[in-house]
Structure 1
Amino acid sequence: MKKFIIYSFVFLGFYACRKVEKEVTKEGIETPQEIIKDSVIPEVSESSIMTSTKNLKEALTSKGFQIFDYVDEKTKDTILMQQYFIAFLKNGPTRSQSEEEASFLQKQHLAHLGKMYDLGYADISGPFGDNGDIRGITIYNVPTLQMADSLANADPMVKAGRLIIEMHPWWAAKGFPLR
Structure 2
Amino acid sequence: MKFINKMFVLVCLITAIFSVNAQEINPRYDQDLAERLGADEYGMKRFIFVILKSGSNVSQDSELRNEAFSGHLANIKRLVKEDKLIVAGPFGKNADDYRGLFILNVKTINEAKKLLETDPAIKANYLVPALYNWYGSAALSEYLDASDKVWKITP
| TM-score, length basis structure 1 | 0.56
Q: Is contact 2:87-2:103 (8 Å) kept? A: yes
For residues 96-119 of structure 1, what are the alpha-carbon distances to aligned partners after superposition, in whole Å with 9 as ceiling and x for unaligned? 141121111111110011100111
Give identity over the alignment, percent. 26
User: Which residue, 124, 138, 142 being the options, matches 2:102?
Assistant: 138
1:52 corresponding residue in structure 2: 32
Q: Is contact 2:55-2:125 (8 Å) kept? A: yes
By how many angstroms is 1:52 displaced? Answer: 2.5
1:35 corresponding residue in structure 2: none
Q: With CA pairs under 8 Å and 6+ residues apart, which has the higher RCO, 1 or 2?
A: 2
Q: Is contact 1:84-1:172 (8 Å) kept? A: yes
- Long gaps (5+) in structure 1: 1-45, 61-66, 70-78
Quick one: distance in 1 between partners of 2:30 and 2:72?
41
Quick one: distance in 1 between partners of 2:40 and 2:35?
12
For residues 33-78 of structure 1, what are the alpha-carbon distances to aligned partners after superposition, in whole Å with 9 as ceiling and x for unaligned? xxxxxxxxxxxxx5x946436x618x73xxxxxx643xxxxxxxxx
2:74 corresponding residue in structure 1: 111
1:120 partnered with 2:83: yes
**Number of aligned positions between the proteins:** 116
Q: Higher helix proportion, which one? A: 2
**How do 1:33-72 and structure 2 match up within 5 A?**
49=29, 51-52=31-32, 56=35, 60=38, 68-69=40-41
Helix, strand or coil at the partner of 2:53: strand
- Long gaps (5+) in structure 2: 1-26, 144-155
2:53 corresponding residue in structure 1: 90
Quick one: distance in 2 between partners of 1:130 and 1:169?
25
Helix, strand or coil at the partner of 2:67: helix
By how many angstroms is 1:131 displaced? Answer: 5.2
| TM-score, length basis structure 2 | 0.64
For residues 131-159 of structure 1, what are the alpha-carbon distances to aligned partners after superposition, in whole Å with 9 as ceiling and x for unaligned? 55110011100132211121123210111
User: Aligned partner of 2:32: which letter?
Assistant: S
Superposed CA RMSD in Å reads 2.7
Quick one: distance in 1 between partners of 2:31 and 2:73?
38
2:139 corresponding residue in structure 1: 175
